[in-house]
Chains A and B, each alone.
Chain A
Amino acid sequence: MSDFLFNHLLDDAHQCPIIVNGVACQVPEQLSVAAALLYLGHLANRQHPVSGELRGSYCHAGFCFECLVAIDGQANKRACLTQITPNMSINTALAGVN
């Protein structure tokens, strides 16, 4: 699942440390959590509670609620509406990851 499908436009962007599923990573600062997940290659961030199918962020504008993840221990936060902060801990809701 870890295809790097996105690029950052600025080469010299400052980096910000975050923790995704327990793994320390560096991403350019000023990303939303949903953007950071895409940047790191996580297209999917949760499993649908009914079908178990994988789902990923879709609208990035707060409308679709597909981007729900746990941020600093708080479950079901919309990743697209949250900006990353240094050492923020993000947990996707995928079986076998958490």
Chain B
Amino acid sequence: MREKESGTPALEALNLTKRFGSVTAVDGISFSVEEGEIFGFLGPNGAGKTTTIRLFLNLTRPSSGEARVFGLDSVRNSIEVKSIVGIVPDVSNVFSEISTTANILFTASLYGIGRKERMSRMQDLLETMGLSEYSEKKAGQLSYGLKRRLAIAMSIVHSPRVVFLDEPTSGLDVSSSREIRELLRNLKYHGTTFFLTTHNMEEANELCNRIAVIDRGRIIAVDTPERLRREATEAQVIQVEFNRVLDENEQRQLVSLGPFHKIVPMKDSYKLFTGDPEEAIECVFHFAFSNDLRICGLNTLKPTLEDVFVKLTDREASFGSHA
């Protein structure tokens, strides 16, 4: 058994790849997470977030590459890894037929926690997670939000060093989401490492120390939320429609005129990515005037997550292959 060395990252992915037939769900990703960090995995549906978590727990085998938890290999040392990690899956898969307490006690027994210790941890968790009044209720009768809290309780009953949370607030209403985030922030003070997936930018921003943006199985950026947000504001979009279609030369000319990163032709309009929308609009008017074009529609759009992705996925390309 490897000794815990200081400096061993809590989580480490080395060229981690998972293929399902012809689909590459996770495509050679590498990253590492320090102990005590809250690391966010931000990406759209099908990006490979859940698959990455499953690889760390040996619920699915890597096609190549390695996933390590405190230096332990997820495949070769899967039992040891599982004893120090907890997971809140994307579906609150609690045992509906038995009570809240029975769910927690059963989970604790799977980690080899003795009977007395089980009882006391169960009591603590019921309190922390605000589940005390539902302790004898069948888990199947709990509301969606309460089930999620129970799933979180079950994931930390063995005081894991790393907790994976797969979209912990998806499907919850605003106030339940806030409660869950509050709970997570409280857990954070105990030095536990968190790996959290989400497609909610604000949530990642609020909770995480660092965020990896993942798209189609690849990590396209790893940074602090502040810096990613700066990228996001650079990804503001104005959408403009002229009375005729622009040729490539004109498009290029338009981009060179103002603070534009990129132009993306849409069906009958153009999306212009910019860091400075006001200046950009002036340039558009100027361009229209000098080219004898009429502006039929002009909109400024708030950057969506997708816009940030568009920007991140091809930073260098300026011309729209990306319709």
A is bound by B: no
